[in-house]
Structure 1
């Protein structure tokens, strides 16, 4: 098949999720010609399952978080036969932020220094202080609601007040006070009043099924309109299969396939990867050449390795009193960082974040009674159980994952996507350290519900489908032998290739990563702009 050559642009971005949106807006605003290639489409809020009473059923198929189950034209399959946890993602303008809960927490300062503090992993080549100004600037753009003064963090302020704790949040907070454990009102990228083109939160509690009110800072709303206004050309339905290099070893073009199967060669002076920790690794491994026989930017052999997925567990508590647990955001009503940092007395490294979430649906609640015999769950018995609708709270544990080279992304030998491109194989096993963290956290979550007086407690030891935190597969560092990119996300091997998604994170911490990913992307984008004149470009 012949390739259609497209007119050259300054920057090609692969992926229109949060990090791609930030880079597009930043560089287009500074006068660069920017094209972003996104394999998904624009999604209308009117189509979200959260708009419909049967939303829990819709999540089982067409709107599943699992690529293999959803199987839309824009999705690629994954070989999941060798993983304990299923990585989840969503393809479309805004990426997985369309379906995220918008928990908006920064890494802790200690997360950047685990080698120094704990003697494990590697330190990041940057510190919390290096990233802090970028965290703050992103917060102001997207409208983050929170309460300053959290003793777990260095000082930070928010332009919007936090969301109400609600009856459930108050019950849980009182329980944590009894236990003497840290808690704080939820910080989230969901405005508490109208912000730019984002509506005020209406508290429907369906954040993780897409916000039908347009009140969540998914990046199709929070960043892409401004990026397009600044001049970015966004191409949807574009599946990238290869990055090519010239004789000098610089990236010179991106090969992509449209929905009609036509191939295009988009010439460019620089490439920015923003396709998440699986998509980016996959594309780099696909981009082989005489100069890069093991994949682009892979002289270290680390592309695809050190995959971190933030395994989750959860404990649902059912309460006899009405607590309006269908009210959002979900989101997090409150969170606890009591166990977020390493305490070697627990027998493992790292920690976990606990976040309290409402449960707006009834099927999920009925599932909590799966230990009961069939006749006590269905038929007339349902009416004895449905009283817990509106009376359920979910304490979820986000487990700090440690990097291990055996947890990795490779190209599958047999499985391909609809265009015949090799699909990713996921190899991920929960380590002994992570298992100890999971077990410890589960006990603490149960303890929280017991202290709050829950009438029924149901525990999930491992959330099989992870929360979409796909990190570490192209880590940053100062040494090209032990990292893929430098402290600004620039490839050590290919000076005009940048990576700005969660791939570059050295450690995962226990926090939801999007705040960190977007701060890193903003920092990288400004570095690209500031150093462009001094960089070599393809001839």
Structure 2
């Protein structure tokens, strides 16, 4: 093994997605030396071409959300046989921001206090006001566009102007005005004007995966890594981390990783270690980092590492309209959203709520499959009739429900399965509960009311699907009590004071909105706290 101890750095970061990229930037700006280890590499945006007739087919082959199907060299296997939901992620520079839709949200103030309000889940060890300035800074860095003044939030203004409203947007705004329901223009990490090196969106409709060919979507391989490299951050690609190492006192000394090109094992020493490997990858690394001092896994004296996994319950309702409009164009993200029912509604038989996200239904291939339409388009004349009915004449409400934390929904280490480098692989155990099922059904029924009010002559509720695991949260939860949480409100491990976790895994509750905005704000807040307390930071004598 190459020990690498002569290359001690201030911070070793595992993972180059939004949290890792944002933390690396803030630490480097403050003069800290940073190495980021990434098991993948930069996405190859030239591997498919958006103007080829086969674009949609090639996109889903090369840039599939589901790693067990995609099986790129950087992917590791996940045993999800005992999970109701298949987890989605991208392993490479930029993390899952490469394949996200870029819908951007803040949590509402109440989302930090669900235990107090509804007696479920857990309250966060911080508030909306604590996070608000970091939301604003992250939105500037990610080129977020939208309209300020949304009454469902405290006042804030996205830094960039919104996307233009289309025909379907106007139909839904008029419908919700008649219904007396909330609706607001979409906020997206998609540039509408030139900003921080990003180009304005031209609405090709090809932004979901593999990101954006025009450089408008805020994936951190574009928004952060060029800046990080200029600041001196060392990004090591094709480096798969197997474990975090500790000294006899229990302090982190660095990480062991495998160079996926040479197959050699290396050790990268660091005064602090930051794990940003997502809600499955982070608990996997911690659990695999067991030792005599940490027999149940690193930072796991509470037995909470891997527990309380949350993956937003999801529903989808399509409306079919007589007139033709631009529902095949971008952006994929969200044209508008409704937070009318994000809080617990009285007398409905379930707690918490969901956000609705107005989206187009995409290109021709998006109109012919079983999901979300319930049946295939058929053959011959029936095929053409169905495509004509759906393509350019439909819109959808994508429903993101709040998932309640459950300690039995969890990530564990599979006793048999290993990745290509011989590292034990994760197993996901996740079951949707009765609350989630009731929540999704109620919201589907009300989203259908919205579509009909907007003029849809027919509504279609998507059939159940396992493949909705876009948001992987909660498996390394934060909290004030070391007995019931893994890290504190700044991502610092209770058991290991120079180990930090920064990604969606630390979220105590899932909220009813897309989580990347909150993940980004947390990473910025936590990195700033590291900078401000660096003189008091406890480090191992081996790397001091």
**TM-score (normalised: structure 2):** 0.96
Deviations along 1:486-532, one digit per CA (max 9) or x if unpaired, are: 11110000000001100110111101000000100001101111111
Change in 2 beyond 3 A, CA 1:53/1:173:
farther
One of 285, 305, 308 as aligned partner of 1:306: 308
Task: Quote the offset at 1:149 in angstroms.
Answer: 0.9
Give the whole-Å Cα distance in 2 for the aligned partners of 1:470 and 1:406. 15
Equivalent-residue separation in structure 1 for 2:285 and 2:496 (angstroms): 15
| 2:408 maps to 1:409 | no
Equivalent runs, 1:288-437 vs 2, <5 Å: 288-367=290-369, 377-387=378-388, 388-437=390-439
Determine whether 1:221 maps to 2:222: yes
Q: Structure 1 residues 447, 368: CA separation in 2 closer, same or farther (over 3 Å shift)?
A: farther
For the structure 1 residues 69 and 314, does the alpha-carbon distance in structure 2 shift closer, same or farther, using more than 3 Å as the test?
same
14-23 vs 362-371, which moves further: 362-371
Question: Which deviates more, 152-161 or 378-387?
Answer: 378-387
Aligned length: 537
Find the aligned partners of 1:55 and 1:153 in 2 and give their Cα distance.
Answer: 39
Is the contact between residue 39 and residue 238 of structure 1 (CA under 8 Å) also seen in structure 2? yes
Aligned twin of 1:118: 118
SS at match of 1:239: strand
Deviates more, 1:280-289 or 1:168-177: 168-177
**Equivalent-residue separation in structure 2 for 1:363 and 1:408 (angstroms):** 35
Q: 1:59 to 1:429 in 2, by over 3 A?
A: farther
Offset of residue 171 of structure 1: 1.5
Q: Which 10-residue stretch deviates more, 408-417 or 387-396? A: 387-396
Q: Distance in 2 between matches of 1:140 and 1:253?
A: 32
- Distance in 2 (alpha carbons) for counterparts of 1:51 and 1:244: 48
RMSD after superposition: 1.7
Label 1:369 to 1:220 Cα distance change in 2 as closer, same or farther (>3 A). closer
Give the whole-Å Cα distance in 1 for the aligned partners of 2:198 and 2:335.
Answer: 20
Residue pairs, 1:52-131, within 5 angstroms: 52-131=52-131
Other structure's SS at 1:494 match: coil
Gaps in structure 1 of 5+ consecutive residues:
none
Given the two structures, how large is their TM-score scaled by the length of structure 1? 0.97
Task: Please point out which of 447, 460, 476 is paired with 2:462.
Answer: 460
Deviation at residue 372 of structure 1 after TM alignment? 9.2
Q: Call closer, same or farther: CA 1:524–1:49 in 2, change over 3 Å.
A: farther
Counterpart secondary structure, 1:357 = strand
Segments of structure 2 that go 5 or more residues without pairing to the other structure are none
Q: How does 1:169-248 map to 2 (within 5 A)?
A: 169-209=169-209, 210-248=211-249
Secondary structure in structure 2 of the residue aligned to 1:339: coil
Find the aligned partners of 2:361 and 2:379 in 1 and give their Cα distance: 20
Give the 3-state SS of the residue equivalent to 1:115 in structure 2. helix
Separation of aligned partners in 2, 1:268 and 1:299? 23
Counterpart-to-counterpart distance in 2, 1:360 and 1:119: 40
Q: Is the 8 A contact 2:37 2:235 kept in 1?
A: yes
